Structure formats: C-alpha cells, structure tokens
Structure 1
Amino acid sequence: MILDVMRAMARRWYIVLTGLILTAALTWTAYQATPPEYEARGLVLLLPGANAVPDGGNPFLALSGLEQPASIVVAYFGSTAAQEEVAGVSDTAEFSVQLDASTRGPVIAIDVTDQTAEGTIETLDFLAARVPEELQRLQNEVGAPAPSIISSMQLVTDDEPEADNSGTVRITIAALAAGIVATGVATFALDGVLMRRRTRRRAKAAAQFGPSTSVDTEAVALDADPAPEAAADYDALVGAEEIIPSDDPAVDDPVGGESPADDPNETADPQQGSSRSARDRVSDPERVSSGSGRAGLDSRAGRNR
C-alpha cells in the first residue's frame, strides 16, 4: 500500500507540489491565528494584626488562623464584579486568584494570562493592588478595631511575562499533519481516477479500431501459406478446361488418373465441371504448387482440342 502511494505521488508530482504549497499556507495561517500566550504570577501574604503579635514577637510565627480571611478575599475575586473590573483593564486577559497550594499559610496566588506581554503585566499589577484594598474594605465593613486589622505584603510579582507557545505549537503541528495527509490522499485518489480513465480510453479504442497486431497477423498467415490461392487459380483453370468437352481420355485425365468409366463406384457428371483428378489436385495444395507448370500445359492442350 505504501509503495503504491509512493508510485502514485511520483506519477502525480504536480499534485504533490500543489498540496505542499497549500499545506505551507495552511500552517502559516494556523500559526498566525494562534499567537503565543503570556503568563505572569504574583503572591500576596496576609499578616496578623498588632494585637496578635506579642511585644518583640515575630509576625511570621503568628500566621495561623489567617487562611480564613484569605479565603474570603479570594471569594470576592471570583465574583462578576471583579471580572468586570479586570475586563476594564484588558478584555482579553484571564486571571485566577486563589490560595497557593504549594505553601501552608495565608498566601494568595494571582495568575494572569493574556495575548500580549503588556496586557499581562498590567493586569497582574492591578490585581496585586486590589487584594489589599479588598482586604481593608471587608475589615472596615465589619468594624474591626485598628489593632486587629490584618495587613498584607507582596511576596513576589513577575516583572516580565513568560511566553507560552504550547497552544501555537499544537495548532501548527495539527495543520501541518492535516495538510500532508490530505495531499497524500488526494494524490492517490486522483491517480486512481486518471488511471481508470486511461484504461477505459484504451479499451474503447481497441474495441473500435481492433488490436494493432491483427493486420500483421493476417499478413504473416498469407505469406506463410500461399497454397490456397494457387489451388483457387488452378480450380479456375480446370473449370475453363471442363467447359470444352473432349472425347480424348488423355485430355480428360492428363496425369493418368482413372476416368469415371474405370471406377464402377463413381459415375461421370457432365455438369460438375471437374474430374476426380482435378478434385484431387485442388485438395492437395503442394501438388498444385509443384504441378502448376504442367497444369498450364494441360489447360492449353484442352483448348487446342
């Protein structure tokens, strides 16, 4: 099967060339239609209030219990209001605000994906600034005392986004593979159609004009066996001879054959136009060929009679 496809592609190379050009165009279009995406990430840590840390204590040792406030802040950024705020910054940006699964503690992870590097960084900076604002708003609404107000700090924020080409590569490879497969299938199918059409044309021409070797075969047959023509010519001569009746037995039987009177099983037929010896000569082409000179003499003798 593979060998047949390769032979078909070799015969229809122009179809293969056209298919490869179209495949290249399809691949380029797919690459341009799916540009790479840019990703950026930021981490925000919640810190306990002043009354939760003893004098001279370390705030990082008092982080327990802050996962609950962090979850409340994360829940807000999953709302429609937060999505509308981000759409005002970049309508093509996608973001995710959730607790960081890689650490234990009140760490909020902000992930942003956009089609441009500028839009990605701008959206990340916007969300990183909105997290402490939303945290402060929620505490003010519940009337939390100032010494217990929870604060936040940015642990890390990407300055340059990272390009993600995985989607572009997948689409490009898919377009390239589809173009190559389509080229092979189209070439093999068209080659089959053209080959069948050519076979039908040849069969039609053979049926209409006959095989090209028929005339040559007949010519060879005629050259190889000229005896039938010689026999026919001699039969004509004998017929001309029998038109003039003769009473001389030597003329009726030039080669010394038996006459009808000599054979009791045979009777002469004056209307038959040939004797037994003449029929014997006609039935034996070699005898006719070898005795053609003698037949001519016998014919002339009959006419002289």
Structure 2
Amino acid sequence: MNVVGTLRGLLRRWYIVVPGILLAAGAAFGAWQVVSPGYERSATQLLLPGAESLPENANPFLFLGGLSNAADVLVRAVSSENVMNAALDGYTGVDVEVSRDGSTAGPVVLITVTAETDADAEAVLGTLVDETVVQLEQMQERENVQTVNRITVVPITVDDQSTLQQRDRLVAAAAAGVGVLALSIVLAALLDGLTLQRRRRASQATSAESDVDEPVASSDGGPADDRGPGGEGLGFDPTPDAGERESVMSDPLPPTQETPIVRSGGSSRHRRGARRTASDRVTASTDDAPAARSVRADTLDPDTESTDPAR
C-alpha cells in the first residue's frame, strides 16, 4: 500500500486515529511528569608540581608538562570501586564521572555528578573533590615522597548551581508518545484493511451471482437462447402450446365456394375450393406467418375431368 492509500485509510478510521493521538499526548505528558530531571554539577582540579622540583621563585604553572601522567593515575584511583562506594553511600540515583579534561593540555581532573536532586549533586561533588586530595596524598605517602616534593591539587572551578538535564525526561516522553501513536496507527490500518478486504469479497460474490442469474443479451437486443447445464443451446421450441392450438382450432374456416361446371351431356360437376386445414394454420402461426392465408380457388379436384365439347 502506498502513502496516499495509507493516509486515506487513516482518514477513514479517524475515530481510531484521533483518540490514539490524544492517548499518545497523555502518555507523553505522564512520562514527562513521572521522570524527574537530572541535576548536574561539575568541578575541575589542577595538579601542581612540588616546590623542591621548581627553580627558586619560579612560576609553577609554567612547569605542568610532566604532570599529565600523574593526572591519569589520580583519575584511576578516584574512579575505583572502593572510593565510589564510600562517596555514594546513602545516595540513590546518582551518576558520577571522573576523567582527565581532554579540552586542555594540562593535568586537569574533571569530576561530573548527576543526581535526582540538587542537594544530592552538591553533596556528592564536594565529597569527591575532597577525596581527590586524599587519594593523591595517600599515593605519594606510600611511595615515601618528601613533603616538599609532593604534587598538590588545587580546585579550578566548582559549580555552585546545578544544570537541569532533561534528556531522560525527553527520551521517556518520546518513547511513550511514539509507542501509543504507532499502536493506534497500526490498529487503524489493520481494521481498514480487513474492512476493505471483506467488502471486496462481498462485491465479488455479488458480481458472480448477478452474472449467473441475469440472461445475456443477444445481438438483436432480445434475450439469448436458453442453455443447458453443459452449455448446449436448447433453441426455441416451435411447437405451440395447448392454448394456441385451441385458439387455432376454434377459428371458423372460410366457407367453401362451389363453381358449377356444365358438360355436353347435361350433367354438371362442382369445383370445390381446397380447404385450409387446421394443421396448416398451426404451421403458419409458428413460422410467424400471417394469421390467414388466401387459398387458391382454382385448385381442381383430382377427380375432375376436363370437358371436351367434341366428346
């Protein structure tokens, strides 16, 4: 079925499509209300080299090139399962991502927290910022690094307001609305197809019955000859029925005319006109001839003899 046919079918089944659209809108609105938005906060921290590893009175921000590997190690330590379980204890629906900020070439650690409430996002982010410092100190302490040579981490940015994330709500609302709408369209198309198929079958059955019942018109405008079960032509029966025979037999025959014939011997014989029998009239009526035919009056009787004056 093409697009035009599908649209026409949906228009015919508007009483299914329109309620389906309303239900889809209601389902999308309900999903939007049920799914809460996400509250996102982020923080960035920068690693700085130890004082003993820098020239005297040097700017530490000019010596950040060798700290990228240390930032990767710190990200792996903070992202460990033990640290995350301790930081998220008592919070539900919180998503945390710790990575090295790829938008900068320096040793910058990026922490992103997404929670169901703004308070949870703020609390978890603060915990992880503090945990970064703790994890860096523990790693250097295990390696017996002198305090003056230890790498330090300083916060660069910490969000004090959350950013609303509507992605989950949009996905849920779109899925609910599109699902209900697609279901209503499929239902309308299925019902329209079944109805059209039923009507088509009924129309074909009616056409077949009419072809059998109605006689086929002949070339001269009259009904065609009846045909038997095998298709043989029965033709027209020329035999008249009982009514026609009674009508023909009841009609009076024309009177017989007699013409006198005078012979030389004084005797006379009569010439009788040939009578038209009833069978002749029946045959004439069945052959669509006129109802009466003229009979020749000069037909001689077979017994009539020609008169000879000399005899």
Q: TM-score range by the shorter chain?
A: 0.5 to 0.7
- Equivalence for 1:139: 140
How big is the shift at 1:144?
Answer: 2.7
Instruction: Give the alignment's TM-score, normalised by structure 1.
Output: 0.67
1:159-198 to 2 correspondence within 5 Å?
A: 159-198=160-199
How big is the shift at 1:80?
Answer: 1.5
- Equivalence for 2:19: 18
Q: Which moved more, 1:65-74 or 1:95-104?
A: 65-74
- Equivalence for 2:268: none
- Equivalence for 2:46: 45
For residue 159 of structure 1, give the secondary structure of its aligned residue in structure 2. coil
> In angstroms, what is the RMSD of aligned CA positions?
3.9
Assess, with a 3 A threshold, how the Cα gap between structure 1 residues 52 and 258 changes in structure 2: closer, same or farther: farther
For residue 153 of structure 1, give the secondary structure of its aligned residue in structure 2. strand
How big is the shift at 1:66?
Answer: 3.1
List runs of 5+ in structure 2 lacking aligned partners: 224-239, 258-272, 293-311
CA contact (8 A) 1:5 1:184 kept: no
- 1:129-176: per-residue Cα shift (whole Å, max 9, x none)? 111122222233333333223322111011122223334434544544
- Equivalence for 1:92: 93
For residue 58 of structure 2, give the secondary structure of its aligned residue in structure 1. coil
- Equivalence for 1:157: 158
How big is the shift at 1:15?
Answer: 1.6
1:1-305 to 2 correspondence within 5 Å?
A: 1-32=2-33, 34-201=35-202, 233-240=243-250, 249=256, 259=275, 274-284=278-288, 287=290
CA contact (8 A) 1:89 1:123 kept: no
How big is the shift at 1:199?
Answer: 4.1
Assess, with a 3 A threshold, how the Cα gap between structure 1 residues 258 and 5 changes in structure 2: closer, same or farther: farther
CA contact (8 A) 1:234 1:282 kept: no
Between structures 1 and 2, the one with greater helix share: 1
How big is the shift at 1:31?
Answer: 3.4
CA contact (8 A) 1:42 1:157 kept: yes
- Equivalence for 2:302: none
| Matches of 2:39 and 2:7, distance apart in 1 | 43
Instruction: Give the alignment's TM-score, normalised by structure 2.
Output: 0.66
Larger Rg: 1 or 2? Answer: 2
Assess, with a 3 A threshold, how the Cα gap between structure 1 residues 10 and 91 changes in structure 2: closer, same or farther: closer
| Matches of 1:159 and 1:94, distance apart in 2 | 18
How big is the shift at 1:90?
Answer: 2.5
List runs of 5+ in structure 1 lacking aligned partners: 223-230, 251-256, 261-267, 269-273, 292-305
Amino acid at match of 2:43: G
- 1:179-217: per-residue Cα shift (whole Å, max 9, x none)? 444433332221121122234446667878x69x96xx9
